A and B are shown apart, each in its own frame.
Chain A
Amino acid sequence: MNWLIAILQTTLFVALAPLLAGWVKCCKCRLQNRKAPSLFQPYRDLIKLTNKQPVVSEQASWLFIKAPYIIFSATVLAATVVPLIAVDLPTSASADVIVMVGFFAFARFFLALAGLDVGTAFGGMGSSREMTISSLAEPAMLMAVFTLTMTASTTNLSFAISHVLNEGLVLRPSFVFALAALVLVAVAETGRIPVDNPATHLELTMIHEAMILEYSGRHLALIEWASQLKLMLYGVLIANIFLPWGIADTLGAQALGYGLLAIIAKLAVLSIFLAIAETLFAKMRLFRVQEYLSFAYLLGLLGMLSHIILEAAR
């Protein structure tokens, strides 16, 4: 039964990810006085792509062709770890939050290699930039989640969320720092403005799009889907770690239903904030990103230190 719910939750994760992307786009269009595409447009795009014949470069090796599947699977695995509608599911015990960050690293490793595979300047550029940004963002993210895990004294996300849930609303300075750091990292890692612009193919500013320039058809669909999933993962992490209320801590049908409604509401609100931020800010220069990310790193570290110095019981 527990495993069934766990699988259901993961399926839900994967199925809802394009919807979230559609909603963000919708909000953004409204804010920018444009006519918004349908909420379900990302699904249509994915279906269209999977039915197309993929074109692969003559230089491409097996790695290029298999990489989308590896990237997608690693991202789905990361999704199994993160509690979406219910805590205390068996999948979250098989891997903790460090492993989840490891899954992201796994996907990124292959994405960057795929970018280098066909031997174009764009691919190399994208890979180099992606690895630069992620090598600063990953430690910042670890610092932010370590703050949480040290408060709950567990690295298991499910237990950690239960801990926050049971403690009730306590304003902790460390959580404020960690939240800020995690938001900054999430923006960088999911390739949103001001770090990367998902809507552009301007050669000098691309990061994520430069790596996947050679992909088409179902390969592109998988990579797009994986990045939508990643956006949702970060959203759920932020929502459920810092505002876990509503998530089901029992496995009854009613609790699960409330859990689903709660997370949808939380994500909808978060996405509006993301859309506002994307509308207000311009993309920054590539070499300003390091300052942005070192700031996130510093916030994460401050969060951890303030937990240790101010909050932890001796």
Chain B
Amino acid sequence: MILISAYCAVLLSFASGLLALLMNRRDMLLAVKRYAVKTFFKAGHGPDWLGKNLEEQRFPPFLRFSVFVLLGLSGVFAVLAGLGVLIGKTVITDQISLGLPWLPWHVRFDSLSGFFFLIIGIAVSAVSLYGPGYANSYDENRHPFAVLGLFTGLFVAGMLLVLLADDAFFFMIAWELMSVASYFLVAFQHENPANRRAAFIYLLMAEVGALAIILGFGVLAAFSDGFTFDALREAKLSTTWAGIAFMLALLGFGMKAGIVPVHVWLPEAHPVAPSHISALMSGVMLKVAVYGLIRFCFDLLGEVHWQWGVVLLVLGAVSALGGILYAMMQPNLKRLLAYSSVENIGIIFMVLGLSMIFMANGHPQLAALGFLAALLHAFNHALFKNLLFLGAGIIHHQTHQLNIDMMGGLINKMPKTSMLFLIGCMSISSLPLFNGFVSEWLAFQTALQVDVLDNGVLRSLIPVAAAALALTAALAAACFVKVFGLIFLGLPRSQHCEKAHEIQDKGMLAGPSLLAGLCFLFGIFPGLIIGLINNVAGQLLGETLPNDAALSWLWLAPVSSQQASYAPPLVLIGALIAGCISFWYLRRNPATALRTAETWDCGFGGLTSKMQYTSSAFTMPFRRIFRSVWIIDERIEKDMQGAMNQDVAAVHYHLEVQDHSWPRLYEPIEHAVNRLAKLVGRIQTGNIRVYLGYSFVTLIIMLWVIS
């Protein structure tokens, strides 16, 4: 039953992709309809709705809607399947005779897969509510829906299949399906050269990453008989080979997840894809990479080493801090959100690293705590990052802007969107009462258990990591104050924003509303989801939380109620009481009703939107403090005029902030590749006789080898 709904989810997403292909085949559909009517209905009339929806005007919206309905159903089935396996704590295996005849695809659906099914299912459901309205805004001639719909379906199916895979072949096929389908989605608006470049970088890094993963599986397979995960689990590796396999997997999955320094594709590719696709890529696809890493390290490799945990911890800390600092400097909203994904993936990796360290040092219960914090953060990040990307899509749809320096004042014009976006910002800034806070709280609780370790290096490293985590959280709050404040508050900075109005499409609000509701729900009742993740930890690590009994809907006390406890419902009640008392008490006097007046302008008159703080002004103190993190090119140019050229006519401010990884890492690689290519080019003379000579020499050598 559970497996059937999992298969249904995959098939429905395939079906939605295939259905989208019918977009340009209306004539064919008409012919099919005519034939069907002739055979099945004697009266010569088909059902009314069918004929109406095949009319030229109504066909495209109808088809778009149906495609997203199928996709949404796929999401619902994924949620059902995920919940089923999580609650039932079962493991289901199956074989499908697809692919090569002697290599059937092995399927295994356990609670780890089920948990990620749940994440994908929720995200896909929200996206498919949002999708029809958003896809309507594309010009059919330049950006055909068939392409978008087909690859969206394939992309979702690919992600779901990765989670189902139980052998290395099937895993890689699904992985490649996911990567390649998302490449086409990134390249969807290919008329823009920047988009083509972003898509190419993405494809390149995805393939390099896939290569590393294949090699990682290869190392495991060399020590076992076969490519099924069962066989790989049995492999007995020496420490060195296990380390090599781990590094390869880290490179491959880390590249997909966007760990610094292999994150560079992420801020390029996510902003150029359509918003609901960026939401899926950032919110979900990165999680599939996290799944891969967990599956590879905790399940297949089995025995983890604390050194790996240290590697993850350090890489995670660098990604978290680097990601949020880079995010802060971006004026492009979607680029900013993409960098913020780097930060959140960094946090997930950090906590996974902690979990590994505790595991390797013989504290499986604390390892379960860290594991749980990591999975919870993955879940939370999927919710709020999807919410923010969908919100960014609405803003782009209504204002045709993505530059936050050109926005402002949207809170009065788009009240519903602003409320949804505010919830997203509060969740991602990990404020209490929202879901982001809970996972961060658990992460801190994990880090604070460092006392049980014996190793001096670890004992001093983990507090430093906790310090980095605290700094990251505070910087994230600053970053998202900037985002919300500049987009929604203040005066509008451009014509488009002044004329903007609330989105009319109900679905485009329903998708984000679903996610915002879940952000709040799991912020108040985190016990619901933590109980489910606890089952994952139980199945994968063989160990659950130290304090199982304390997991109730009201209390959260992961280690023991003596050590730490948090009761978000009580906090909510307290907040409501305090807020209501002060609100009611202060407003009882009618003589003190609000009076509106002009904003105080220091008596000079005429506040304009140009006088407000901009993104670069807001982040100037940070730029100064963390100077060495970026490559900053800041120039002020003055146009001079008048006698002796002494009057300033205009001032131009120019600011460019760049990532260190390009000049430090990628450009040297690029140069090396170019040099190598030139060396190879020497033997390519373009002369047919030389090439014949090469063939001849090769032939001779081959013959000599054979004899």
Q: Give residues in A with beta carbon < 8 Å to B.
A: 50-63, 65, 69-70, 72-74, 76-77, 80, 91, 93-96, 98-99, 102-103, 105-106, 108-109, 112-113, 115-121, 123-125, 127-129, 131-132, 134-136, 138-139, 142-143, 146, 149-150, 153-156, 159, 213-214, 217-218, 221-222, 286-287, 290, 297, 300-301, 304-305, 308-309, 312, 314
> Does B474 lie within 8 Å of A55, measured CB to CB?
no
B423 CB, nearest partner CB in chain A, Å: 12
Q: Does B133 contact A (CB under 8 A)?
A: no
- Are B571 and A132 in touch, CB under 8 angstroms? no
Nearest residue, chain A, Cβ from B597 = A55
Contacts of B491 in A (CB 8 A): 59, 119
With A94-B570, A119-B607 as given contacts, are A109 and B429 in contact (CB-CB < 8 Å)? yes
A153 pairs with B563, CB closer than 8 A = yes
Once A128-B618, A143-B470 are accepted as A-B contacts, the answer to whether A312 and B561 lie under 8 Å apart by CB is no
Further pairs besides A113-B489, A124-B485, A146-B466: 6, Cβ < 8 Å: A69-B582, A95-B570, A124-B613, A124-B617, A138-B473, A142-B467
Within 8 Å by CB of A156, from B488, B564, B592, B594, lies B564
- Jot down 12 A-B pairs with beta carbons below 8 A, ordered by A: A54-B592, A55-B594, A58-B599, A61-B488, A105-B429, A119-B491, A119-B607, A139-B470, A159-B562, A213-B600, A218-B587, A309-B460
A112 touches B445 (CB 8 A): no
Which residues in A have their C-beta under 8 angstroms from that of B598?
57-58
B622 in contact with A116 (CB, 8 Å)? no
- State the B residues within 8 Å of A (CB): 408-409, 411-412, 426, 429-433, 437, 441, 444-445, 448, 450-451, 454, 456, 459-460, 463-464, 466-467, 470-471, 473-475, 477-478, 481-482, 484-486, 488-491, 561-567, 570-571, 574-575, 578-579, 582-583, 586-587, 589, 591-601, 607, 609, 611-613, 617-622, 624-625
Are the CB atoms of B575 and A58 closer together than 8 Å? no
**Cα distance A19–B471 in the bound complex, in angstroms:** 34
Inter-chain contact B451/A106, CB cutoff 8 Å: no
Flag if A134 contacts B474 (CB, 8 Å): yes
Say whether A58 contacts B596, CB under 8 Å: yes
Q: Bound state CA distance, A119 and B612, in angstroms?
A: 6
Closest A residue to B429 by CB, please name it.
A109
* Contacting pair B481 A112 (CB below 8 A): yes
A136 in contact with B411 given A50-B586, A55-B595, A124-B618 (CB within 8 Å)? no
Residues of A contacting B450 in the complex (Cβ-Cβ under 8 angstroms): 150, 308
Give the distance in Å from the alpha carbon of A182 to the alpha carbon of B60 in the complex: 63
Q: Would A120 and B448 be within 8 Å (CB), given that A57-B596, A77-B578, A113-B489 are in contact?
A: no
In the complex the two chains form, is A129's CB within 8 Å of B621's CB? yes
Q: Is the interface of A mostly helix, strand, loop or mixed?
A: helix
Contact B451 A150 (CB under 8 A): yes
- Which residue on chain A has the smallest CB distance to residue B484? A113
Give complex CA distance A95, B437 in Å.
12
Tell me the number of A-to-B contacts counted with CB atoms below 8 Å. 263
Output the least CB separation between A274 and chain B (Å). 24
Whole-angstrom distance from the CB of B395 to the nearest CB of chain A?
16
With A135-B475, A309-B460 already in contact, the answer to whether A119 and B609 are too (CB < 8 A) is yes
Contact B431–A135 (Cβ < 8 Å): no
A53, B467: Cα distance in complex, Å: 45
CA distance A96 to B621 in the complex (A): 31
**CB-based contact B595/A93 at 8 Å:** no
B451 adjacent to A132 (CB under 8 Å): no
Contact A102–B430 (Cβ < 8 Å): yes
Most B C-beta atoms less than 10 A away, residue of A118, A120, A300: A120
Chain A residues in 8 Å Cβ range of B411: 61-63, 117
B599 touches A59 (CB 8 A): yes
Given A102-B432, A136-B474, A149-B448, the answer on whether A116 and B566 have CB atoms closer than 8 Å is no
A89: min CB distance to chain B, Å: 13
Would you give the shortest CB distance from B70 to chain A, in whole angstroms?
39
Chain B residues with CB under 8 Å of A72's CB are 578-579, 582
Query: Most B CB atoms within 10 A — which of A74, A129, A309?
Result: A74
Contact of B596 among A56, A125, A142 (CB under 8 A): A56
Bound form: Cα–Cα A258–B450 in Å = 37
> Are A127 and B485 closer than 8 Å at their CB atoms?
yes
Closest Cβ–Cβ distance, residue A112 to chain B (whole Å): 5
Minimal beta-carbon separation of A203 from chain B (angstroms): 9
Which 6 pairs across A and B sit closest by C-beta, in order of nearness? A124-B613, A119-B490, A116-B485, A139-B470, A135-B474, A131-B478
Complexed CA–CA distance, A115 and B430 (Å)? 20
B490 touches A146 (CB 8 A): no
Q: How far is it, in angstroms, between the C-alpha of A238 and the C-alpha of B563 when the chains are bound? A: 21
Q: Which residues of A contact B441 (CB under 8 A)?
A: 98-99, 102
Whether the pair A156, B563 counts as a contact (CB closer than 8 A) is: yes
Instruction: Report B-chain residues with C-beta under 8 Å of the C-beta of A52.
Output: 592
Chain A residues closer than 8 Å to B609, beta-carbon distance = 119
In the complex formed, the residue of B with least CB distance to A70 is B579
Taken together as a complex, chains A and B put the C-alpha atoms of A95 and B557 apart, in Å, by 10
Closest B residue by C-beta to A304: B463
- What is the CB-to-nearest-CB distance from A79 to chain B, in angstroms, rounded to a whole number? 9
A123 to B491, CA, bound (A): 12
Which of B598, B609, B618 is packed against the most chain A CB atoms within 10 Å?
B618
Question: Roughly how many angstroms separate A61 CA and B583 CA in the complex, as a whole number?
Answer: 17
Contacts A96-B565, A309-B460 given; does A116 touch B489 at CB 8 Å: yes
**Which residues of A sit under 8 angstroms from B620, Cβ to Cβ?**
128
By the criterion CB–CB under 8 Å, are A308 and B459 in contact? yes
Q: Given that A59-B491, A69-B582 are known contacts, is A99 also in contact with B432, CB under 8 Å in the complex?
A: yes
Give bound CA distance, A34 to B474, whole Å.
39
- Contacts A99-B432, A119-B491, A214-B600; A94 near B607 (Cβ below 8 A): no
Assuming the A-B contacts A53-B592, A99-B441, A308-B460, are A156 and B597 also in contact, with contact meaning beta carbons closer than 8 angstroms in the complex? no
Q: Is the CB of B591 within 8 A of A105?
A: no
Which one of A54, A127, A214 contacts B613 once the chains associate, using CB atoms below 8 Å? A127
